[in-house]
């Protein structure tokens, strides 16, 4: 038996493996419930007592060696049980970045507009999306029955919206969802003294049939500049600066006479088509120009409505649709994409910031 144990000892000492299966086989062979050691210990019981001492020592040595060997080999295995993880922690592996969201094209363009005008000293002001008749229409020179009110199909919240506000002092003024951000002009002029230089980005609402070109919700940025001696030339130069910053330094602008109840004179502004360099494409409908915004000199009656002295002060205002500019810049062919929150669409603009 002693001889057998010695043989097994050399076998155990020389055993080498880095294979998980083989190491497990080694454990089963020597230390398992029906393993070699179990049999040897059973045989040991039957030995004559004079042999027990030396054989017992040898047998224990074999048992300890086999256990030691098994633990040793197990430790060298690549991390499986988590007990030797630090040995195999590879700090050079790339980090799992996770998924990050991207900015909406409307936000990208809005931020760019704010940034450009802030360089000219314009601050940002906001107003409520739910407006009263005064701020959305009356203060802006839309008389009760003026046909211009038809230009903007309105979502009314109270039926009594068209009743003159303030006719009953206890009655809360009737409201509608604002049809343009020009309502913020009125709020700013009512609350601040000139000089005023502000832009007002925000959501507007019109009761329009939804199509590729039009939506019942969209975003505008309103601009307002009131001071002494503000002229149409200031308006033109401000818009030229904006257009070149926004669409490229070669951009030209064109002002066409137009009509808005709250500006006089009024104009619509086109920029030279930056997609085809004015050569003609289907975006500019082969005219070389694309319409961007409405603008004009603030009507003196509007200044007076807001308690600003129209003899002392003049000013200009303009308003543009953010979706329209985003569609042109990013060549988006359907405004409905902007509101559907399809991540496949939204993801495309993250690198455009
Ligand atoms: N409010 C006008 C619109 O919604 C745009 C505009 C703003 C025109 C300011 C002139 C001055 O179409």
In whole angstroms, how large is the CA radius of gyration of the chain? 41
User: What pLDDT is recorded for position 19?
Assistant: 86
User: What pLDDT is recorded for position 320?
Assistant: 97
| Partner residues linked to 317 by β-bridges | 224, 296
User: Which atom belonging to ligand 1 lies closest to the Cα atom of 223?
Assistant: 9
pLDDT at 123 over 90: yes
The predicted model gives 288-292 an average pLDDT of: 92
> How many angstroms is it from 250 CA to the middle of ligand 1?
26
Q: Which residue has the tokens 């040897």?
A: 40
- Residues near 202 by beta carbon (within 8 Å), at least 6 away in sequence: 126, 127, 129, 178, 181, 184, 219, 220, 221, 222
Cβ–ligand 1 distance for 261 under 6 Å, the answer no
Which residue, judged by its Cα, is nearest atom 4 of ligand 1?
180
Which residue, judged by its Cα, is nearest atom 6 of ligand 1?
319
User: Which atom belonging to ligand 1 lies closest to the Cα atom of 224?
Assistant: 9
Ranking 139-143, 168-172, 223-227, 240-244 by mean pLDDT, the lowest is 168-172
Most confident of 71-85, 142-156, 318-332: 318-332
What tokens appear for 313 in the block?
Answer: 């002060």
> How many angstroms is it from 108 CA to the middle of ligand 1?
22
User: What pLDDT is recorded for position 96?
Assistant: 83
pLDDT at 124 over 70: yes
- Backbone region of residue 153 per phi and psi (left: phi > 0; alpha: psi in -120 to 50; beta: other values): beta
pLDDT at 285 over 50: yes
Over residues 163-194, the pLDDT tens digits come to: 555 555 455 557 889 999 999 999 999 999 99
CA distance 140 to 186: 7
pLDDT at 144 over 50: yes
> How many angstroms is it from 160 CA to the middle of ligand 1?
25
> How many angstroms is it from 179 CA to the middle of ligand 1?
10
- pLDDT bin (cut points 50, 70, 90) of residue 195 is very high
> How many angstroms is it from 345 CA to the middle of ligand 1?
29
Angle at the Cα of 225 from the Cα atoms of 127 and 131, rounded to 5 degrees: 20
CA distance 200 to 127: 8
What tokens appear for 65 in the block?
Answer: 């060696």
Residues 291-322 as b/e (b if ≥16 CB within 10 A, e otherwise) read bbbbbbbbbbebbebbebebeebbbbbbbbbb
Over residues 36-65, the pLDDT tens digits come to: 999 999 989 888 888 888 899 999 999 999
Share of the chain above pLDDT 90, in %: 57
- CB-based contact 351:298 (threshold 8 Å): no
Which residue, judged by its Cα, is nearest atom 2 of ligand 1?
319
Which tops the pLDDT comparison, 93 or 161? 93
The predicted model gives 61-72 an average pLDDT of: 91
Is the whole model's pTM more than 0.75, yes or no?
no
User: What pLDDT is recorded for position 353?
Assistant: 44
The predicted model gives 321-341 an average pLDDT of: 92
Q: Could you tell me the CA-to-CA distances from 28 to 34, 81, 192, 306 in Å, in that order?
A: 8, 19, 88, 94
- pLDDT bin (cut points 50, 70, 90) of residue 74 is confident
User: What pLDDT is recorded for position 100?
Assistant: 79
The predicted model gives 312-332 an average pLDDT of: 95
pLDDT at 81 over 80: no
User: Which atom belonging to ligand 1 lies closest to the Cα atom of 151?
Assistant: 12
The predicted model gives 114-129 an average pLDDT of: 97
Cβ–ligand 1 distance for 180 under 6 Å, the answer yes
- Residues near 142 by beta carbon (within 8 Å), at least 6 away in sequence: 148, 149, 261, 262
Enumerate helices (H) and strands (E) in the chain, giving the number of each: 12, 9
User: Which atom belonging to ligand 1 lies closest to the Cα atom of 204?
Assistant: 4
Q: Which of 260, 268, 314, 320 for a ligand 1 pocket mutation test, highest count of atoms within 8 Å of Cβ?
A: 260
User: What pLDDT is recorded for position 352?
Assistant: 47
Over residues 233-270, the pLDDT tens digits come to: 999 999 999 999 999 999 999 999 999 999 999 999 99
Cβ–ligand 1 distance for 202 under 6 Å, the answer no
Cβ–ligand 1 distance for 223 under 6 Å, the answer no
- If you average pLDDT over every residue of the chain, what do you get? 88
Cβ–ligand 1 distance for 294 under 6 Å, the answer yes
Cβ–ligand 1 distance for 187 under 6 Å, the answer no
pLDDT at 299 over 80: yes
User: What pLDDT is recorded for position 201?
Assistant: 98
> How many angstroms is it from 297 CA to the middle of ligand 1?
11
Which tops the pLDDT comparison, 290 or 151? 290
258 by Cβ neighbours in 10 Å (0-12 / 13-18 / 19+) ranks as: middle
What tokens appear for 68 in the block?
Answer: 């030691």
Cβ–ligand 1 distance for 317 under 6 Å, the answer yes
> How many angstroms is it from 225 CA to the middle of ligand 1?
14
């Amino acid at each position: 038996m002693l001889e057998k144990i010695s043989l097994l000892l050399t076998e155990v000492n020389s055993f080498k493996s880095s294979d998980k299966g083989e190491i497990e086989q080694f454990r089963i062979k020597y230390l398992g419930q029906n393993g070699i050691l179990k049999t040897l210990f059973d045989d040991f019981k039957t030995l004559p007592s004079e042999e027990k001492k030396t054989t017992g020592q040898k047998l224990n040595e074999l048992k300890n060696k086999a256990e030691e060997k098994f633990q040793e080999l197990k430790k060298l295995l690549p991390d499986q049980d988590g007990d030797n993880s630090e040995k195999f922690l590879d700090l050079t592996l790339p980090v799992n970045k996770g998924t990050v969201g991207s900015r909406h094209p409307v936000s990208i363009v809005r931020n760019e507009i704010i940034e450009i005008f802030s360089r000219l000293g314009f601050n940002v002001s906001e107003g409520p999306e739910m407006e009263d008749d005064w701020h959305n229409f009356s203060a802006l020179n839309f008389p009760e029955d003026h046909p211009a009110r038809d230009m903007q199909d309105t979502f009314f919240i109270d039926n009594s919206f068209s009743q003159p506000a303030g006719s009953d002092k206890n009655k809360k003024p009737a409201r509608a969802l604002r049809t343009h951000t020009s309502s913020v002009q009125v709020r700013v002029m009512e609350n601040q003294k000139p000089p005023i230089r502000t832009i007002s980005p925000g959501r507007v609402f019109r009761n329009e049939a939804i199509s590729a070109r039009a939506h019942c919700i969209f975003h505008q940025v309103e601009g307002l500049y009131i001071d002494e001696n503000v002229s149409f030339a200031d308006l033109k130069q401000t818009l030229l600066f904006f257009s070149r910053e926004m669409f490229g330094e070669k951009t030209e602008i064109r002002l066409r006479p137009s009509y808005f109840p709250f500006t006089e004179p009024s104009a619509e502004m086109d920029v030279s088509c930056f997609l085809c360099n004015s050569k003609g494409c289907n975006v500019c409908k082969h005219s070389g120009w694309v319409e961007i915004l409405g603008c004009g000199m603030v009507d003196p009656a509007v200044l007076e409505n807001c308690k600003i002295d129209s003899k002392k002060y003049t000013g200009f205002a303009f308003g543009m649709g953010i979706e329209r500019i985003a569609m042109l810049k990013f060549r988006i062919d359907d405004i409905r994409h902007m509101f559907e929150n399809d991540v496949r669409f939204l993801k495309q603009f993250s690198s455009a910031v």
